[in-house]
Chain A
């Protein structure tokens, strides 16, 4: 049962992820990304992390990608995508990056070995928050500070300098 659900949603995630980068229409790319995030959220549930799954849908699918779509629709990018010429250098760098990434992934997978079934005990919300606010308190606070800085920076960048005729 679990294996069947995993295979189904893993396939959905991979296929929609491919659609994200290959579809000519940016709106469809974004919608495919939502499907990818949704399928990964289901995989999180299978791994015993339903809270992470809910957060992923709430934050990424429910808020961030809406803004993606918002911008794409505002710019009215209909069925056109910047077809930048693919140079030889780009292909080489991309191939190198892919090899490095999958190499690291394979190496770490081989090093840790296959986890035992049931080794991933579902983490309760209380355990999660206790860890977050005691053991990982400092990194948590630093991330909060980082986000605050980003928010302030975005506000400053977005603020238009008041034009002289607008000032009375």
Chain B
């Protein structure tokens, strides 16, 4: 029973967090862009304009959903739904808290605890491109088609560099399971005072991962598939109302899960340097008299909860960086994008991989 119930319970915080991130990011993006451009931004609805997202959602729901003439209807309707699929599945391999004891067994805090680990994340994330390709093909619009062709080429090109930088992180941890990657970072300390985060020894790999993650999520400066000045709105030109909103949500959710992956790979995931969250949870539970909750001590509930909070705080900072970059950098040209992916990022990722492999074998990492 516990085998079935535990993964279901662990999905709950993820779904809540990913959906909340979408609502918050809509507001953050608009307020922060206003801040960067020296404007006020939406500030009428609720405190600081916080309810703007609700107004946006209401508008999306009540707008008319159009289907263009000559559209390939089944694919046209399926594409926006597929946009949510990778974002709602990839988080299953990301750990979010200290392991707990359930009926004599150690239960690690990740939904799918398998040694396939991060490969599952990459496999599911790679399916995201089909949503864009199907949308572009089925819309019967040349701008949509061009946008989705760009998306397909761009995502395949940058997936290589992204995967290679991820592999370099897995080498010293000697496992594909992200829980092992977090454990490895907890066990290390660099130069005697830096936390054992992978970002320090793998700064080059981190840079490649960061740039490639912008391209994978179609964010500026790599939002060529929807470049307004050339393609109207790219692959979602013909989508309106809630169907358009699904693409929009898919993009923010993919950003959230990819940020969670980045935080786990390079910034220690749910852990804080020098803080044992399990001990903190036990102390807090002690203040409350250490009651039992659904057959488990309170500390076993608080530990994962604190871990998830730490993980989400780090993800929030990463997301702010996404927004900051979007409103700071101009868009790349398409040939520049391809050159950067194949002639700069891929060789850099390979150099990083070989260097990390040698350092790992040499026992430095």
Contacts and interface: CB of A to CB of B under 8 A. Distances in A.
Interface of A: 27, 31, 34, 50-51, 53-55, 57-58, 61-63, 66-67, 69-70, 73-74, 124-126
Contacts of B114: 50
B123 interface: yes
Interface residues of B, number: 27
Nearest to A64: B156
A61 B127 CA distance: 7
B52 interface: no
B145 interface: yes
Q: Dominant SS at the B interface?
A: helix
A126 B177 CA distance: 12
Nearest to B146: A73
B75 to A, nearest CB: 8
A55 B119 contact: yes
A67 B120 contact: no
B149 A70 contact: yes
Contact of B126 (A31, A63, A124): A63
Contacts of B130: 31, 34, 66, 69
B148 interface: yes
B156 A66 contact: yes
A53 B189 CA distance: 36
B115 A70 contact: no
B340 interface: no
A66 B133 contact: yes
Contacts of A124: 115
B124 A69 contact: no
B153 interface: yes
A165 to B, nearest CB: 20
10 contacts: A31-B134, A50-B116, A53-B116, A57-B126, A63-B156, A66-B130, A66-B155, A66-B156, A73-B133, A73-B148
Contacts of B134: 31
Interface string B79-118: 0000000000000000000000000000000000011100
Given A50-B120, A73-B136, 14 more contacts: A31-B75, A50-B116, A51-B116, A51-B119, A54-B116, A61-B123, A62-B126, A62-B159, A63-B126, A69-B152, A73-B145, A74-B149, A125-B115, A125-B176
Contacts of A55: 119, 123
Nearest to B78: A31
Contact of B159 (A31, A34, A63, A73): A63
B129 A57 contact: no
A24 B176 CA distance: 41
A16 to B, nearest CB: 14
B122 interface: yes
B137 interface: yes
Nearest to A70: B152
A125 B159 contact: no
Contact of A62 (B116, B123, B137, B176): B123
Contacts of B152: 66-67, 69-70
| Top 10 A-B residue pairs of the complex, sorted by shortest distance between their CB atoms | A62-B126, A57-B123, A54-B119, A58-B123, A50-B116, A125-B115, A54-B123, A70-B152, A54-B116, A51-B116
B129 A66 contact: yes
A47 to B, nearest CB: 14
Contacts of A31: 75, 130, 134
B307 to A, nearest CB: 25
B162 to A, nearest CB: 12
Nearest to B153: A70
- Which of B116, B122, B124, B136 has most A Cβ within 10 Å? B116
A74 B145 CA distance: 9
Contacts of A57: 123-124, 126-127
Contact of A67 (B72, B115, B137, B156): B156
A58 B145 contact: no
Given A51-B119, A67-B156, A124-B115, A62 B127 contact: yes
A83 B123 CA distance: 36
Nearest to B121: A54
Contacts of A50: 114, 116, 120
Contact of B137 (A53, A58, A73): A73
- Which of B122, B123, B127, B149 has most A Cβ within 10 Å? B123
- Which of A27, A34, A62, A126 has most B Cβ within 10 Å? A62
B149 A125 contact: no
A3 B148 CA distance: 39
